[in-house]
Structure 1
Amino acid sequence: MIEEGDDLIDEQDEPKETITRVTGMYKDWFLDYASYVILERAVPAIEDGFKPVQRRIMHSMKDLDDGRYNKVANIVGHTMQYHPHGDASIADAMVQIGQKDLLIDTQGNWGNILTGDRAAASRYIEARISKFGLDVVFNPKITEWQASYDGRRKEPINLPVMFPLLLAQGGEGIAVGLSTKILPHNFIELIDASIKHLQGKRFTILPDFPTAGIADFSNYNDGLRGGKVRVRARISQHDKNTLVISELPFGTTTSSLIDSILKANDKGKIRVKKIEDNTAAEVEILVHLPSGLSPDKTIDALYAFTNCESSISPLGCVIEDNKPLFVGVTEMLRRSTDNTVQLLKQELEIKLGEFEDQWHFASLERIFIENRIYRDIEEEETWEGVIGAIDKGLKPHIAHLKRPITTEDITRLTEIRIKRISKFDIDKAQQKIDALEDQIAEIKHHLAHLIDYAIAYFTRLKKDYGEGRERKTEIRIFDDVDATKVVIRNTKLYVNREEGFVGTSLKRDEYVADCSDIDDIIVFTKEGKMMVTKVDAKTFIGKGIIHVAVFKKKDKRTIYNMIYRDGRSGPSYIKRFAVTSITRDREYDLTNGNKGSVSLYFSANPNGEAEVVSINLRQAGSIKKLKWEVDFADILIKGRVSKGNLVTKYPIKRVELKEKGISTLKPRKIWFDETVQRLNVDGRGDLIGEFRGEDKLLIINQSGTVKTVTPEVTMHFDSSMIVMEKWVPKKPISVVYFNGEKEMYYVKRFLIEQEGREESFIPDHPNSQLEIVSTDWKPVAEVVFAKVRGKDRKENVKINLEEFIALKGISALGNQLTRDKVNQVNLLDPLPFLAPEEVHADELEVVDETEVSSSNAEDGGASKTNGNLDKDDEGQIKLFEN
């Protein structure tokens, strides 16, 4: 057994290592220090949500509070009477509280959480407790006190905070051996959750950040260890060459965000022309892009390679009973709400006692004066005699009192001045007693219905202080950004086919494509081998490279067509396959595996094209047919390990391309996932349609803009988007809008005139507003008229928009809907119409006039008219005949 202080030696008595055990005071010093840092500096208490320095700051501000602003330097100096640390730490903690705009009413330059600018020196800025802070934080009567660190003063053990303050402000600290990171939550949502808890209902609370932004809380894990929150900046497209960052992810500033963008640009991950920071009260960072760069891909690249997206790991750790407690935000809210109920109960009980004491003395005072008991003491010569005389005079009148009379009560009666006795008004005294009885009854009712009282308390807080505290951070589920799809191709890939090398340093050899340093490349050789490897300066693959390209993971559209000879003299096979997943740097054999196999023909087709090739055989023996054609379209697409179909058992002299083919793949189905606001080909969300290469997507926004775009999974969509569907070029768009300049409703129908360009179809006036938009062939609208004073409201009118106005240009004003005052316009179910069979967009024929008339006749519709609604002699709109 090794005793304390002994050296550890081996069996040969050769010293190898010395272990010195600490004893005495050294033994406890580290634990004492760790406990002090955890309890007194870094971690907030669950009872009031304050760290010790924050609690002492608020207590000092209450000491100094007279309704006016105080210099922060004065508050800091006063706090040092309670806090045994320097003024800098106190000032920094106070600035952090002030920037959260909840407990402190600030004046002066308190810094900017958006830009990261520091606050001015504490001698230049001022502060006072906010109305909310005075309302929910302080009540000396229910506060427990302790001696300050030097014993000269008293400070609160915990402040009686009657609100989930810790969750509203958030908290962060690093101690010895543990840390805490509690994210801020929304003021209104916390109150609603507290009310639900009191009502016995389930609730969920999620963080809300002062910097706004967008956040994915799907892995929040109730704020416990192991959870993760993904936060993103809000980025929108200002124009085709400019992006606007208008909200920041939590934990970043405009300075750190811009620095990360510049670093990514320097590394070649993204390409930026210029950055402008116009941030003032609101964030506005303009990111100018080089011409020809996709804004949608750049937005994803900003999320992938810069601080525009980051992840936060919450860790709910608080102090309870002088011990660290790891707890989720749901439990924190429950405990805070339950603590608020108990504090409200204590407050009511104290008020009840005060009112009962007031009622007791008011009743004694009335008895004392009304029955002129004060005259009984005129002949008494001793104090004991005075007390006894008053006590004797009161006894016949005190049956209704709620507690016995004490000497202190009688002493107070003797202190009543003669002037008060002479002016005593019995009616007013009784009114005061009645008012006190009402207040006592009210408090007893609150105590009997404590939960209802607490709910009313939280409801009042929401009403008084909730204005302007709505949620800032948008809750959304993020899709994962594939960095390889959005990274800028900042380097060039080369190949030396004969020697079998590929890489970015082979600048004297054949150029392949632009690539990035995070890309994978796929390589095929003459021997029928395939390998996928990381982009590098120079990599040996194998001699006889026949194809090299940047590899796309999970790519089912790129189809490889191949004809190979099995072995040195074996038969030849044909196969078609895709490469969707592989193991990097592993060599795959695409032939049957026999030695001497060779690839006779190979092509890579990005959209599954199937060409026609000519097979030429060598002259041997009695072969009659030496040449014929093979169409790859006749070959099924299978896995890369398949053997393939037999082409011939005879030796092939050569294979020649006869005719380029068309795609044999089905049109690509595209879905829109409302949850993440992104397109996908994985079947998530609502199916938009089947798209060929030339098909476009039609997008209409509430602002009155329309555009057609090629659908890509990297696209971003504006929150004001109201229409997204597959575009049929000859299908009209019908619109009813309010013209702000003319203050009238107008109708127009138009076709898209310029593909790929965003165009506005309502006048550029602040009051112009899109009312309804329809992409149906024969839409129907309902006009609801407003009530005019002195007249009966006109009946609703149905309008066939296809008959109401002919097709016009997208910039046309349209036709006036009506001169009568309109309340609203509703879109109804369209009329039946046999749409042309959907084929390729460029093959769709315009329906001629006779076909339209015929269709209308079958539907029972009237003939096409132009202009305003037809009116009779009295100006009444004619009803549409169904």
Structure 2
Amino acid sequence: MIEENDDLENKYNQEEPQETITRVTGMYKDWFLDYASYVILERAVPAIEDGFKPVQRRIMHSMKDLDDGRYNKVANIVGHTMQYHPHGDASIADAMVQIGQKDLLIDTQGNWGNILTGDRAAASRYIEARISKFGLDVVYNPKITEWQASYDGRRKEPVNLPVMFPLLLAQGGEGIAVGLSTKILPHNFIELIEASIKHLQGKRFTILPDFPTAGIADFSNYNDGNRGGKVRVRAKISQLNKNTLVITEIPFGTTTTTLIDSILKANDKGKIKVKKIEDNTAAEVEILIHLPSGLSPDKTIDALYAFTSCESSISPLGCVIEDNKPLFIGVTEMLRRSTDNTVQLLKQELEIKLNELEEQWHFASLERIFIENRIYRDIEEEETWEGVISAIDKGLQPHIKHLKRAITEDDIVRLTEIRIKRISKFDIDKAQQKIDALEDQIAQIKHHLANLIDYAIAYFTRLKKEYGKGRERKTEIRIFDDVDATKVVIRNTKLYVNREEGFIGTSLRRDEYVCDCSDIDDIIVFTKEGKMMVTKVDSKTFIGKDIIHVAVFKKKDKRTIYNMIYRDGKGGPSYIKRFAVTSITRDKDYDLTNGNKNSVVLYFSANPNGEAEVVSVNLRHTGSIKKLKWDIDFADILIKGRTSKGNLVTKYTIKRVELKEKGVSTLKPRKIWFDDAVQRLNVDGRGELVGEFRGEDKLLIITQSGIVKTVTPEVTMHFDDDMIVMEKWIPKKPVSAIYFNGEKELYYVKRFLIENEGREELFISDHPKSQLEIVSTDWKPMAELVFAKERGKVRKDNLEINLEEFIAIKGINALGNQLTKEKVNQINLLDPIPFEAPETTPADEIEVIDETEISTEDSKDKKEANDSNDLEIDDEGQITLF
């Protein structure tokens, strides 16, 4: 029975189809590796030797093949390049357009597209090109070029072109291969040359990108162009008028089309508000952004940087091909290698030229000996070619001791090829002059070889002189101040609260309206139980029942102070505290009481500038309590951390707490600095101190164009490039100015006070030729007039003028007093006359508490109460009221 089963099993196994396994390991290992290597080496990544990808190198070689000084149709160049490049015409044409748009190696004619608008070039049959003068100068030299067979073996193409310039860094390069990519940013032409010279001189150098689209860039994290670096680029945005912004330069990697699309998208999402956009871009960028009335231009500029492509980040990655392998390298090392390579190429050029000149000198010397000594007559009787060669060789021997090398048969053959006409007209003096000139050239080249570094420096200096004009830096280098998106976003959503049930959100339209907010805001919420939470804006969020305060939360806000009185547990004592909330963990419950069950908040207020109000405390009438009502001034309470227990108010039950009197700020005036590097105000101590500002204080700004204005200082403000005065405004302090009146063509002096706060006013005449010369905000300014020397007259001595005595204070629109009728060469502002400014301190001064006194520790500090009859401080620092 067992044998029968085995037979059946064998029969079944024979009938079942056998599984065939085909291993693809070899296919992947060979084919994929070959493909990856091809893409890396032959398509995507440039070579470090000349900075070209293969298609670019073949285009430049084809253009040299076709070069006759005239323009060629791009279609013809593309067709010729296909003899060397085994790909389609479209890829070649696109690569050629990219080279042409960089305006360095190719002179273009026709519509080659626009890098600003993103418009494509016309078809290759409609546009023309030729090699630029610069390209001919630095890219080609067939004598020092290494050649190889083209892909089909019919022609010769260069392995690398002998580029004698850091071309890769000047043009930049980008490519995506298999498993790696490269992104080398373009750098400034002149700065690259200067850096090469510094390298040759043994000095340190730094090079930073410069983009053809200009714009503003922060290179603080450039990391020398290596992996991990980052460059932040911004559009150049300025205020045309109070309702219009203008973009004049765009970030690298964007176009006006993509930029406008991103602005419209941000507007649709409610991040910003834009009334209309006009694109007037042609040869230069001009995008006009019209804003709705009442919208802050400064805030909108920051919002454009925060929510649109007006600011973007670029991650450089320096990857090149060296010895048929990818190499990751920084731009500094790229420049060093390129410069060293240029020196070697210059050396090869000199050595080849020296060899050529020495050969010319050798044959010129032989020719003179051959003709001057009539050696050509010695061959008249010779009947064989060997005899002719031998006779000439024999005749030359007595005269060749000064030659630098031995005579070869080729030299003698060349002598026999001299025509009789040349022999008959041979001029010994001219022949000697030619030899002397060759000797001078040889000596000069030997000198260059002996001083190769100096020769290379002179070469780079010549390139800068001949081709550097008009290639100055376009991109402005600046350190960016980070834009807080929550401060500049448009509040496009309404926030509601259901206090009793404990919900907040944007969808509770039937409940109480709180404020406008945005979808990126955080919301801070306080409840009757003394709990606090910060959460993200959402359609509906449960916080906790009996909400007493809801607001948009500002991170690191030390000026918003919360005043609170709470009962500790059921029937426990009551405490008073003041605190700020500067940092939190989102969606975490914070207990602001002592933590006992049934604690309740009796009084709560949120004060944006540290205001301290006076409240009345009413006790329940129980037992033998004599004093049932008294006042508490929150100004007597120190500002501490939110975890502070607070100071004891009373051990008895409080019936209610009522607001008696609104308070004033207990914080010191805010110190504001101006950071010139980022052109921004800040409260972090960066830059130059502008002054200490209270809520009502203003900033005085004066521009070179003669505009004066006072504004409330905000860290989001932007400043015009022609700003010449920025200081804390003292209303009683006059502004003194000397200006040239274009209509009357005379200088005038005026002194005025600013009467219209918050309004821009022009204080010089609006004539096109009117110009502000000097302006001063000193109490007693002094100026010096330097008179011009007139023909036939004695030059007048310089004149010093006290502007306070020269003219009284008048209105801002007054013409002023004529300064002089004499011809003035220069006006200088001198040191002012010492003067003690009048007191400007407000009469109702209050005691202030420095923001640095905000503490996170529990009550360790003590503060005496103003009224010793009502307050008593115990040993624990608690205030007891009785």
TM range, smaller chain:
over 0.9
- Name the residue aligned to 2:136: 134
| Structure-2 residue corresponding to 1:553 | 555
Which residue number corresponds to residue 394 of structure 1? Answer: 396
Equivalent residue letter for 1:200: G
* Contact 1:100 1:169 (C-alpha < 8 Å) held by counterparts: yes
**Cα 1:51–1:651, aligned 2, differ >3 Å: closer, same or farther?**
same
Partners of 1:254 and 1:841 lie apart in 2 by 55
Residue type matched to 1:111 in 2? G
Shift of 1:21: 4.0
Compute the displacement of 1:819 (Å).
2.0
Q: Partners in 2 of 1:459 and 1:796 — Cα distance?
A: 44
Aligned to 1:829: 831
Match for residue 336 of structure 1 among 338, 343, 350: 338
> Who is 1:4 aligned against?
none
Shift of 1:104: 0.3
User: 2:603 — aligned with what?
Assistant: 601
- Aligned counterpart in structure 2 of residue 536 of structure 1, from 526, 535, 538: 538
Name the residue aligned to 2:150.
148
Are the aligned partners of 1:694 and 1:841 in contact in 2 as well (CA < 8 Å)? Answer: no
Query: Residue 667 of structure 1: CA displacement?
Result: 0.7
Residues 592, 345 of structure 1: CA spacing in aligned structure 2 closer, same or farther, 3 A cutoff?
same
2:593 is the counterpart of 1:591: yes
Question: CA offsets, 1:218-258, max 9 Å, x none?
Answer: 00000000000000000001111111011000000000000
- Distance in 1 of aligned mates of 2:714 and 2:22: 67
1:874 maps to what in 2?
A: none
CA 474–393 in structure 1, closer or farther in 2 if over 3 Å, else same: same
For 2:126, the equivalent position in structure 1 comes to: 124
Q: Does structure 1 residue 782 correspond to structure 2 residue 784? A: yes
| Runs of 5+ unmatched residues, structure 1 | 1-16, 844-882
Matching residue within 266, 269, 272 for 2:268: 266
User: 1:411 maps to what in 2?
Assistant: 413
Return the offset for 1:738: 2.4
Aligned with 1:753 (options 752, 755, 760): 755
Q: CA shift at 1:152, angstroms?
A: 0.1
Provide the rounded CA distance (Å) in 1 between the counterparts of 2:748 and 2:549. Answer: 59
Equivalent positions of 1:419-818 (< 5 A) are 419-818=421-820
In 2, the alpha carbon distance for the partners of 1:785 and 1:806 equals: 24
What does residue 182 of structure 2 align with?
180
* Partner SS, residue 593 of structure 2: coil
- State which drifts further: 369-378 or 184-193: 369-378
SS of residue matched to 1:817 = strand
Return 699-708 or 814-823, whichever deviates more.
814-823
Which structure exhibits the higher relative contact order, with contacts defined as CA atoms closer than 8 Å and separated by 6 or more residues? 2
Residue 848 of structure 1 corresponds to: none
Q: Measure the CA separation in 2 of the matches of 1:747 and 1:397.
A: 90
Q: Is the 8 A contact 1:528 1:599 kept in 2?
A: yes
Tell me how far apart the structure 2 counterparts of residues 24 and 631 of structure 1 sit (CA, whole Å).
86
**How far apart are 1:22 and its partner, in Å?**
2.3
Instruction: Please report the TM-score for the alignment, with normalisation by the length of structure 1.
Output: 0.92
CA distance in 2, matches of 1:440, 1:840: 86
CA offset digits 1:696-725 (Å, max 9, x no partner): 001111222111100001001112111110
How far apart are residue 454 of structure 1 and its match? 0.3
CA contact 1:618–1:651 (8 Å) conserved in 2: yes
Kept in 2, the 8 Å contact 1:670–1:690? The answer is yes
Confirm or deny: 8 A CA contact 1:197 1:334 kept in the other structure.
yes
Work out which of the residue numbers 188, 191, 194 in structure 2 matches 1:192: 194
Counterparts of 1:574 and 1:18, CA distance in 2:
85
CA distance in 2, matches of 1:393, 1:792: 85
Deviation at 1:794, TM superposition (A): 2.5
Structure 1 position 469, deviation (Å): 0.4
CA distance 1:842–1:791, shift in 2 (3 Å): farther
Q: Structure 1 residues 425, 711: closer, same or farther in 2, change over 3 A?
A: same
C-alpha displacement at 1:838, in angstroms?
A: 3.1
- Partners of 2:23 and 2:674 lie apart in 1 by 66
1:864 aligned partner: none
1:360 and 1:401 in contact (8 A); partners too = yes
Q: Secondary structure at the match of 1:661?
A: strand
Partner of residue 328, structure 2: 326
Q: 2: CA distance between counterparts of 1:454 and 1:227?
A: 32
Pairwise CA distance, 1:278: 0.5
1:138 Cα deviation from its structure 2 partner: 0.3
Q: What amino acid is aligned across from residue 569 of structure 1 in structure 2?
A: G
Provide the rounded CA distance (Å) in 1 between the counterparts of 2:560 and 2:369.
Answer: 102
SS in 2 for 1:610: strand
% identical equivalent positions: 90
Could you tell me whether the CA contact under 8 Å between 1:53 and 1:90 is conserved in 2? yes
Cα distance in 2, alignment partners of residues 457 and 490 from structure 1: 61
Q: CA-to-partner distance for each residue in 1:51-110, whole Å, 9 max, x for gaps?
A: 000000000000000000000000000000000000000000000000000000000000
- Give distance in 2, aligned partners of 1:582 and 1:28: 57
Structure 2 counterpart of 1:288: 290
Alpha carbons of structure 1 residues 26 and 731: separation in structure 2 relative to 1, 3 Å? closer
Instruction: Give the Cα–Cα distance (whole angstroms) in 2 for the partners of residues 841 and 143 of structure 1.
Output: 85
Structure 2 equivalent of residue 306 of structure 1: 308
Residue 243 of structure 1 corresponds to 245
With structure 2 as the length reference, what TM-score do the two structures score?
0.92
Hey, what's the Cα distance between the residues in 1 that align with 2:755 and 2:383? 113
1:510 and 1:823 map into 2 onto residues whose CA distance is: 69
- Residue 867 of structure 1 corresponds to which residue in structure 2? none
CA distance in 2, matches of 1:266, 1:25: 51
Distance 1:765 1:416, change over 3 A: farther
In structure 2, relative to structure 1, the CA distance for the partners of 1:358 and 1:629 (3 Å cut) is same
Instruction: Give the deviation of 1:764 after TM superposition.
Output: 2.5
- Matched residues in 2 for 1:761 and 1:389: separation? 100
**Which of the numbers 50, 55, 74 marks the counterpart of 1:53?**
55
Q: Secondary structure at the match of 1:56?
A: helix
Q: Which amino acid is 2:63 matched to? A: M
Total equivalences in the alignment: 827
- State the 1:828 CA deviation: 1.1
Q: In the alignment, residue 730 of structure 1 is paired with which amino acid?
A: K
Q: CA deviation at 1:115?
A: 0.3
- Give SS of 1:359's match: helix
Query: Any conservation in 2 of the 1:695–1:840 contact (CA below 8 Å)?
Result: no
Matched, 1:213 2:218: no
2:713 & 2:842 partners in 1: Cα distance?
Answer: 15
CA distance in 2 between partners of 1:638 and 1:18 (Å): 79
**Which residue number corresponds to residue 849 of structure 1?**
none
Q: Which of 80, 91, 94 is residue 93 of structure 2 equivalent to?
A: 91
> How much has 1:26 moved relative to structure 2?
4.8
Question: 1:345 maps to what in 2?
Answer: 347
Residues 179-212 of structure 1: CA distance to partner in whole angstroms, max 9, x if unpaired?
Answer: 0000000000000000000000000000000000
Deviation at 1:683, TM superposition (A): 1.1
CA distance in 2, matches of 1:18, 1:519: 62
SS in 2 for 1:669: strand
Runs of 4+ with deviation above 6 angstroms = 17-20
Shift of 1:685: 1.1
Of 521-530 and 411-420, the range deviating more from structure 2:
411-420
Match 2:75 to one of 73, 76, 82: 73
Shift of 1:19: 9.3
The Cα of 1:491 is off from its aligned counterpart by 0.6
